[in-house]
Amino acid sequence: MSNAISDTQSVTTTQSTTVAQKSYQYCEAHVKQRVVFFCNECTHNICQLCVPLHSRHDLKLIKNEVTALLKPWKSLHSQLN
């Protein structure tokens, strides 16, 4: 998963207080494209333009995978509060 270039952006309020921080990764091959998929065969994050090169591979939407991984932790967090 280390084949992408990272970028972090902060979302701020009018009082200059950081509310949330979003981190983006960009494709190494297409530097202006954010990675969207994870290729299980190559174990790389890839952008939409790389999909044809991985057309027969098992691709996962990163957003869905992160949501699935965080679900048990969110449940545990809500039980503790």
Q: Which domain CATH number covers 16?
A: 3.30.160.60
Domain that holds residue 24: 4-80
Look at residue 1 in the predicted model and tell me its pLDDT: 44
Going by pLDDT thresholds of 50, 70 and 90, the confidence category of residue 77 is confident
pLDDT in tens, 7-49: 665 554 445 555 567 788 999 999 999 999 999 999 999 999 9
- Indicate the number of domains in the chain: 1
Dist. CA 4–CA 19, nearest whole Å: 25
Dist. CA 31–CA 62, nearest whole Å: 18
Cut 0.75: pTM above it: no
Amino acid at 5: I
Going by pLDDT thresholds of 50, 70 and 90, the confidence category of residue 76 is confident
* Residue 54 contacts residue 45 (beta carbons within 8 Å): no
